[in-house]
Structure 1
């Protein structure tokens, strides 16, 4: 396990707020959510012992990112083995709210940290890739899939928001977060490519915000043993210690400076001190939703109303028959 840190002193003599933030780069314990929760607890406690006030976990850390899983599906084909594989994956997902959420809230409270946790959430038999936010006092939010669940929280650490994985490549999604004033932009992801680093650098410069990209570091041995798994697009390495997800977690400042990471080598913590004075320094020249926004030409409308798949409309009062009312 490797720990990367950057705790450089504040530049100049200007007063500014400093927040110590940590990314946890680690693998899920697949098909074992209690052990995954225990692993999260270990890393949260280690980060808190280093003085971190914010701890960010990768996409789908609770429940697991199903890299390589096929669930027995091919065009026109389904099988019992694949169905049972999905049953196990569904069992590893969590209810929100639920006991695992309460455990995570308790960890955040006891360690006095703000926590962003990637999780697979289940609602009935449908699974959602979710980002859970916890303050050091209580759970902040849960949600899925519509404009009502694009929050930016005004916390004592700064304005905190998140986009999951390739949502970060959606310009309009990013713009909604910028417009809500995001200062600490969390990017839980499963994309461990070096190209991903370019996207994170761009977002930091575009949004004038700190970017914390958290990705799992996984080896083949971290996954359930299954001969049908295919983890890469090229020839698959079936060695026990083969790297399946290389991580690459990184923390970038609003000025485009890499503060810590990327780590492509091991599990571990990536920690940096965030100087909030850098936000003003960055936005002097470019503010994407401020003085550089061109509202005379461009406009974005965000629908924040919840979208439900099923809506029931009940007739509370029976309508009086017209013929009867005319005879009265």
Structure 2
């Protein structure tokens, strides 16, 4: 049987300090690989930061100068893809001989996107842009399209990613199941207890391993000159973790991790994937294409296109 060692990293991002965030990501990936991990998943928006509790000075019908300045700082903290940060991450995964999925904030033109970046022994492999930012995230992030929904063959299993509440999108999940995802990577900042039920459901529905990496973020991790709505006490927990690893039959293999930063490691028996799909394959023998059909548009949707003669 093929065994694979996987790790999910639970740690807080460095808001407005991307060089420090990158250094932390590299250290954590080395740590995980040192524990034998062949696949490593880091949380949502780990590079660029998740501004939990900030409102960017927005009210319906108005924006404040202070909020615009906060966004400028956030915009300048985002990374280009590919770019210097992805180069460094790619150098590390080549050195370690592992695969990694890293949450980041991408800057493309004048728009930011929440992304999951894929790396392997060959370096940078591609990205997934979050299709639907949740609630107030739409103030700061743009919408991805169907052209960035990759599945990466690691040689031991196919990796795909759904970022945070994309895991609640049944049609997105169906599209990814149809691509044969074996290792479902779920970078997130959702620390609620019911997130665990969602991760177990996705594992059971997709008959895949689920690797969910969450942030653990304290008020003291944010710059002193920003003021999250949760308060300014340094030990205030902004994001409470809950990282977990789940098997294709819904068994929790590691986690949920609470109360601090850390790395969860689990040995995955990849034989559990066909064992699980024996009696349920959502887009195979358990599907009813004569009744239900999903059309997926994976063409890029840029706002401007050259006119075709």
TM-score interval w.r.t. the shorter chain?
A: over 0.9
Q: 1:269 to 1:29 in 2, by over 3 A?
A: same
The answer to whether the Cα contact below 8 Å between 2:161 and 2:186 also exists between their aligned partners in 1 is yes
Could you say which residue in structure 2 is the equivalent of 1:250? Answer: 244
Could you say which residue in structure 2 is the equivalent of 1:194? Answer: 193
The answer to whether the Cα contact below 8 Å between 1:68 and 1:229 also exists between their aligned partners in 2 is yes
Select between 97-106 and 147-156 the one with higher mean Cα deviation: 147-156
Q: 1:54 to 1:18 in 2, by over 3 A?
A: same
Q: 1:184 to 1:85 in 2, by over 3 A?
A: same
2:64 is aligned, of 54, 57, 79, to: 79
User: Structure 2: any 5+ residue segments left out of the alignment?
Assistant: 130-143
Shift of 1:312: 2.6
Cα deviation digits, residues 92-133 of structure 1 (max 9, x gap): 100011111101111111121101010000012200001110
Could you say which residue in structure 2 is the equivalent of 1:129? Answer: 114
1:98 is aligned, of 83, 86, 91, to: 83
User: Structure 1: any 5+ residue segments left out of the alignment?
Assistant: 1-15, 231-235, 316-328
Could you say which residue in structure 2 is the equivalent of 1:320? Answer: none
Could you say which residue in structure 2 is the equivalent of 1:281? Answer: 275
The answer to whether the Cα contact below 8 Å between 1:118 and 1:188 also exists between their aligned partners in 2 is yes
Determine the C-alpha separation between the residues in 2 that align with 1:219 and 1:249.
Answer: 16
Q: 1:20 to 1:143 in 2, by over 3 A?
A: closer
Determine the C-alpha separation between the residues in 2 that align with 1:94 and 1:139.
Answer: 14
Q: 1:282 to 1:224 in 2, by over 3 A?
A: same
Correspondence list, 1:17-56, <5 A? 17-56=2-41
Could you say which residue in structure 1 is the equivalent of 2:156? Answer: 157
Select between 181-190 and 104-113 the one with higher mean Cα deviation: 104-113
The answer to whether the Cα contact below 8 Å between 2:215 and 2:240 also exists between their aligned partners in 1 is yes
Could you say which residue in structure 2 is the equivalent of 1:10? Answer: none
User: Pairwise CA RMSD of aligned residues?
Assistant: 1.3
Cα deviation digits, residues 217-236 of structure 1 (max 9, x gap): 01111112246421xxxxx3
Cα deviation digits, residues 45-81 of structure 1 (max 9, x gap): 1111111101100000000112111111112332221
Question: Are 1:112 and 2:110 counterparts?
Answer: no
Select between 205-214 and 144-153 the one with higher mean Cα deviation: 144-153
Could you say which residue in structure 2 is the equivalent of 1:7? Answer: none
2:261 is aligned, of 229, 252, 267, to: 267
Number of residue pairs matched?
Answer: 295
Question: Are 1:306 and 2:291 counterparts?
Answer: no
The answer to whether the Cα contact below 8 Å between 1:70 and 1:228 also exists between their aligned partners in 2 is no
Could you say which residue in structure 2 is the equivalent of 1:180? Answer: 179
- Of the two, which has the highest radius of gyration? 1
The answer to whether the Cα contact below 8 Å between 1:33 and 1:62 also exists between their aligned partners in 2 is yes
Shift of 1:238: 3.7
Task: Give the TM-score of the pair, scaled to structure 2.
Answer: 0.92
